[in-house]
Amino acid sequence: MDDRTGQRTVAETAARRPENRYGNRPTMKDVAARAGVGLKTVSRVVNGEPGVTPDTERRVQEAIEALGFRRNDSARVLRKGRTASIGLVLEDLADPFYGPLSRAVEEVARAHGALLINGSSAEDPDREQELVLALCARRVDGLVVIPAGDDHRYLEPEIAAGVATVFVDRPAGKIDADVVLSDSFGGARDGVAHLIAHGHRRIGFIGDQPRIHTAIERLRGYRAAMEDADIPVDEAWVSLGVTDPERVRTAAETMLGGPEPVTAVFAGNNRVTVTVVRVLASLDRPVALVGFDDIELADLLEPGVTVVAQDAAQLGRTAAERLFRQLDGASQAPERVELPTRLIQRGSGELPPAG
Amino acid sequence: MDDRTGQRTVAETAARRPENRYGNRPTMKDVAARAGVGLKTVSRVVNGEPGVTPDTERRVQEAIEALGFRRNDSARVLRKGRTASIGLVLEDLADPFYGPLSRAVEEVARAHGALLINGSSAEDPDREQELVLALCARRVDGLVVIPAGDDHRYLEPEIAAGVATVFVDRPAGKIDADVVLSDSFGGARDGVAHLIAHGHRRIGFIGDQPRIHTAIERLRGYRAAMEDADIPVDEAWVSLGVTDPERVRTAAETMLGGPEPVTAVFAGNNRVTVTVVRVLASLDRPVALVGFDDIELADLLEPGVTVVAQDAAQLGRTAAERLFRQLDGASQAPERVELPTRLIQRGSGELPPAG
DNA sequence: GTGAAAGCGCTAACAC
DNA sequence: GTGTTAGCGCTTTCAC
């Protein structure tokens, strides 16, 4: 014992049951023995249930303090069914787009007394599935998924078993499930129309990989705006692919070179925008730019970056709220919620065509 | 049944055992019954243990598929002791500093087959404690904590019981625990010395709340650099407090006004830097700036923002690796690891004093 | 107001 | 190779 605290030291505790390094904790049984009461009485005190005299309660509390008891929720879950935790599978926690989304989901979870288990799929469908199933094995009550893959039939038994599920940012593949999206099509169409309104006709589109729903939708928006203005799209102006700086830089440089370069670029997401801004900064002529997703400090660049902003936090909040509504038993049919985007003019999208 | 898939529909499943909305899942016992084998055989197949004939294995697999069985890890945990999950408590998942940190912790966890449970303390000590204890109740194997509070004695019984614990970014309070930090003192001192080397003498410091360790350390670094240069600090140049834009803006405007304004500002973290950049952009004279933490697009502003960069991902990685080393049984004495910072010159820190 | 017994779904230990 | 039994720590049920 440590004389000052009366607490067992690490070494002593470890020695007590050397065969079990981590399960080595006081249980309700231990507390009951120490307090001289029955197991169920301890359970009542720990869970704040009525029917315990103040005196008994005090004795139990003392035993809990002395032993450093903490209820084992794993065991509790096993009996109760619910884990009070939800899972969030997204592409990359380090992407500034997902930070606020993730935080919003966490806030809603917290308001419902649930913890958040977080995982990044790194845009890999297998990894997404692996993560989701690991979460299901932990018996999370619900899942918020930003899908990487396009086939989610593997979730059918889970959903049938009562795991609440909401997809965000992109719809589920081959199953019918709730989904919360931004209006990628409309946002991109408006952004490109904005460039056209400022006199551009040769407009480039650089987007994410074509297997990603938002990439396709935004490209569709681009094509719609071009068509509305009767501008035939030269396929050399369109580039989809991974969003790492090298690929985007090459794509941008290609469509900005040659005899008939584009005079404006529409960037398909925040990662693309950042790289395109860098490329444009190194040019000696002004090229207009509108980006999908807002980015920090976009207002302070010269020119400011005009963007089609989506509200990542609102996306997360809406999804999480739907999730808990499912859990609260309001089992409506799966729904598709689409949040509007907002064009923010800061200068780069209002530049006229150069040369 | 759904005729196309042979899958039970949600409604049918829910009806099967109406008394139990969520625990309504096939168990190993069910699989065993269906496959006509013993419970343990199912366990062997599910866990890939040897000693099952290919034929039996096939039958079990078929039953698993047919029933949509997924092992219940809660029950497993109860027996095995370890949960293969770790907790990460940080200030705010939405802060761009924590995204990469969090992702790095996740990657290490993944490499060790563990899931990550994530929570934001919102810089509130009570909420930190509540979160940490909730994670302990879930019996996470380990904790990575960016502390909000300064008294972590509440963790003593947990650590004694074998919960691996590593603090990041700030040290633990009143307990002896592993901690991984950036060199806040040295980084700030170097950054301020850099400003002094460029001719500044009236240099402002705007930092986070004084109860935050890094805020104090960085202020210490500021004072050390000033003292090394024999510049007495006017306390009107120093401002600590919350990092929301209003407070920082007011602080900046105050020290930039008056008859003897500061000619340079050292910003104590990324949130502060962003706001100071905005304030400086609205001035008609150049004011030098060095910020602690790198920020995206800092290189594209005019002038580029000179920063003392810390490696958030490395911080997270180092902490998580230490955590798993603890779990692997190498129980050394608690250690303090300090990672170096790096001064990145981009222009704003090299401006001479104006006027 | 309190407690004993059963059992949640799994794994460990030991039969056969 | 395979199955049986006990029990992880808790909650549920029901008896006192």
CA B50/CA B52 separation, integer angstroms: 6
Greatest mean pLDDT among A151-165, B201-215, B322-336 = B201-215
CA B67/CA B70 separation, integer angstroms: 9
CA B6/CA A33 separation, integer angstroms: 52
Flag whether residue B301 sits within 8 Å of chain A, measured between CB atoms.
yes
Q: Calculate how close chain A gets to B329, using CA atoms only, in Å.
A: 10
Three-state SS for A327?
Answer: helix
Supply the DSSP symbol for A135. H
Residues of A whose CB is below 8 A from B137? 70-73
CA B25/CA A86 separation, integer angstroms: 18
Q: How far is the CA of A80 from the C1' of C6 (A)?
A: 15
Nearest residue of B to residue A141, measured between CA atoms = B22
Strands A336-339 and A306-309, sheet pairing: unpaired
For residues B72-84, average pLDDT = 90
Q: Is B85–A138 a contact, with Cβ atoms under 8 angstroms apart? A: yes
pLDDT at B2: 35
* Residue among B280, B295, B288 at smallest CA distance from B264: B288
**Tokens, residue A218:** 């935004």
Flag whether residue A139 sits within 8 Å of chain B, measured between CB atoms.
yes
Flag whether residue A63 sits within 8 Å of chain B, measured between CB atoms.
no
Question: Is residue A184 within 8 Å of residue A205, measured between CB atoms?
Answer: no
- Other CB atoms within 10 Å distance of the CB of residue B51: 8
pLDDT at A328: 86
CA B240/CA B245 separation, integer angstroms: 13
Q: Is A9–B274 a contact, with Cβ atoms under 8 angstroms apart? A: no
**Tokens, residue A311:** 């509200």
Supply the DSSP symbol for B154. G
Put the strands of the sheet holding A115-120 in their side by side order.
A336-339, A178-182, A164-168, A142-145, A85-90, A115-120, B115-120, B85-90, B142-145, B164-168, B178-182, B336-339
Percent residues over pLDDT 90 in chain B: 86
pLDDT at B6: 33
Instruction: Say yes or no: Cβ of B84 under 7 A from any atom of strand C.
Output: no
Residues of A whose CB is below 8 A from B99? 93-96, 98-99
Flag whether residue A160 sits within 8 Å of chain B, measured between CB atoms.
yes
Flag whether residue B21 sits within 8 Å of chain A, measured between CB atoms.
yes
Q: Which of A75, A77, A119 faces B106 most closely, judged by CB atoms? A: A119
Flag whether residue A276 sits within 8 Å of chain B, measured between CB atoms.
no
CA B195/CA B299 separation, integer angstroms: 18
Q: Is B78–A78 a contact, with Cβ atoms under 8 angstroms apart? A: yes
Residue range B50-60, pLDDT digits in tens: 889 999 999 99
Residues of A whose CB is below 8 A from B302? 302
Question: Is residue B113 within 8 Å of residue A131, measured between CB atoms?
Answer: no
Stretch 177-196 of chain A: residues touching chain B, C-beta under 8 Å: none
For residues A253-265, average pLDDT = 96
Percent residues over pLDDT 70 in chain B: 93
User: If pLDDT is split at 50, 70 and 90, which confidence band does A275 have?
Assistant: very high
User: If pLDDT is split at 50, 70 and 90, which confidence band does B7 have?
Assistant: very low
Q: Is A98–B99 a contact, with Cβ atoms under 8 angstroms apart? A: yes
In one-letter notation, the amino acid at residue B334 is P
Residues of B whose CB is below 8 A from A71? 137
Lowest mean pLDDT among B5-14, B202-211, B217-226: B5-14
Strands (E), B271-341: 288-292, 306-309, 336-339
Question: Which burial class, exposed, middle or buried, applies to A266 when counting CB atoms under 10 A from its CB (0-12, 13-18, 19+)?
Answer: buried
List CB contacts of B106: < 8 A, sequence separation 6 or more.
A93, A118, A119, A120, B116
User: If pLDDT is split at 50, 70 and 90, which confidence band does B82 have?
Assistant: confident
Q: Which of B47, B74, B305 to mutate to test the interface with A (most CBs of A within 10 A)?
A: B74
How big is the A-B interface in CB pairs under 8 Å? 193
Residue range B214-259, pLDDT digits in tens: 999 999 999 999 999 999 999 999 999 999 999 999 999 999 999 9
Instruction: Say yes or no: Cβ of B247 under 7 A from any atom of strand C.
Output: no
pTM of the model: 0.90
In one-letter notation, the amino acid at residue A327 is L
Residue range B280-338, pLDDT digits in tens: 999 999 999 999 999 999 999 999 999 999 999 999 999 999 999 999 877 778 999 99
DSSP characters over A230-272: T-PPPGGGEEES--SHHHHHHHHHHHHSSSS--SEEEESSHHH
pLDDT at A355: 67
Q: Please, which positions of strand D sit below 7 A from a protein CB?
A: 1-5, 7-13
Question: Is residue A240 within 8 Å of residue A207, measured between CB atoms?
Answer: yes
Q: Please, which positions of strand C sit below 7 A from a protein CB?
A: 1-5, 7-13
For residues B38-63, average pLDDT = 92
- Other CB atoms within 10 Å distance of the CB of residue B1: 9
Residues of B whose CB is below 8 A from A301? 297, 300-301
Write down the residue that tokens 């930090």 correspond to.
B181
Residue range B139-161, pLDDT digits in tens: 999 999 999 999 999 999 899 88
Residues of B whose CB is below 8 A from A8? 160
Evaluated on CA atoms B319, A1, A65, A77, the torsion sign reads positive
Nearest residue of A to residue B154, measured between CA atoms = A68
Q: Is A103–B115 a contact, with Cβ atoms under 8 angstroms apart? A: no
Is the predicted pLDDT of residue A140 greater than 50, yes or no?
Answer: yes
Flag whether residue B100 sits within 8 Å of chain A, measured between CB atoms.
yes
